[in-house]
Chains A and B, each alone.
Chain A
């Protein structure tokens, strides 16, 4: 079955390194055209998932489909920027882009690549004749992203893309990246620790923890099913709901919950931010997993199956 509206689909995906399960029975679906934040604590499996999706490693179990086919077959449509931003140190910036053009005949977009390398103005522009070896970490990141975007990928996989950029460069680069993605309908997956930065840029979220999918879905849906409640009642009053995190608040209680029906009177209710939801789940690793319908893998008949 060819499925053009799905960028990534994992069914029971597992990856084992020796005795350790980096990924364990992961099932989720990422619709095409989304900007997805891939978050989770260190060792959650974020980088492993990106390497599998890029076709650079094979799963130990389960199935991973990318752009309707196997990662290996989709290689031409995928751009992947690893955390260490692998580049050839002895090449100049211009040479590196030329290499990108040579390696991607017929689809290379020199203008898009140059936009990233030139940045916002003369001051931030990289010297095309500078050798990669002499560039700062942030400048190398820009060259690596220029290579990735110049490829005009359908799926862009970024591992910690902007962590070594200063705030201004990060903001500019993120803006350019999102604009390019919007123009070409590119699906973007980026892992990051900087939740705040991603919250505004991403419209889809995948939270991993201990190699498992803890939460997946459109950002709006994930915040909409949670409530921040504060009230004078005890924790027992919240029992009918799924309580993600609950803390004493004076004589009462403050909690992040998934309401199952109306919340009792006396509780002040507000919709949390995406960051509130994420932090609560990170602080409570035993919170039940949540897969929004859009993030749920579909069976062949096209109906949803809960993972």
Chain B
């Protein structure tokens, strides 16, 4: 059984925290195809979040094709999430860029601010793909 941990101060929407923690469990192999997710009731009892929030998270996971709801049985994992194959070269480029930024005298926060600005313009509000 996966145990969701909700951080109310994180600024990340609660349903998104559930989605992200499920994805993370899939990446780490803590959940495999066929495994059952906790029922909404179980999540609500353990975390005291609104039931609709849990259902919204599960709908999102279903939309992504990661899980499927089987009527009367529960929600089950459909496929696993391996690390994406093409992130390697991207990470290398980013590391090179970060090294250049550091050499130019930028601190960690300067770099983080730059990244956030670029992310915000590349992925406009509400778009995560």
| Bound pair (A, B) | yes
A interface with B by C-beta (< 8 Å): 35, 171-172, 174-176, 178-179, 181-183, 196, 199-203, 269, 271, 273
B interface with A by C-beta (< 8 Å): 6, 8-9, 11, 14, 40-41, 44-53, 125
Output the nearest chain A residue to B51 by Cβ-Cβ distance: A182
Distance in angstroms between the alpha carbons of A171 and B8 in the assembled complex: 13
B47 & A175 in contact (Cβ 8 Å cutoff): yes
From known contacts A199-B8, A200-B6, infer whether A174 and B48 are also in contact, taking CB-CB under 8 Å.
yes
User: B interface, by DSSP: helix, strand, loop or mixed?
Assistant: helix
A200 & B8 in contact (Cβ 8 Å cutoff): yes
A176 & B49 in contact (Cβ 8 Å cutoff): no
- Interface contact tally, CB-CB below 8 A: 48
A175 & B48 in contact (Cβ 8 Å cutoff): yes
User: A interface, by DSSP: helix, strand, loop or mixed?
Assistant: helix
Most interface-central of A171, A201, A202 (chain B CB within 10 A): A201
B125 & A178 in contact (Cβ 8 Å cutoff): no
Q: Which 3 A-B pairs have the closest CB atoms?
A: A182-B51, A174-B48, A175-B45
From known contacts A178-B44, A179-B41, A182-B40, infer whether A201 and B8 are also in contact, taking CB-CB under 8 Å.
no
Q: Which of A183, A201, A203, A269 is close to B48, meaning CB atoms less than 8 Å apart?
A: A201
Q: Give me 17 A-to-B residue pairs in the complex whose CB atoms sit less than 8 angstroms apart, sorted by A's number.
A: A35-B51, A172-B48, A175-B44, A175-B45, A175-B46, A176-B45, A178-B50, A179-B41, A179-B45, A181-B51, A182-B41, A182-B51, A200-B14, A200-B47, A200-B48, A202-B50, A203-B50
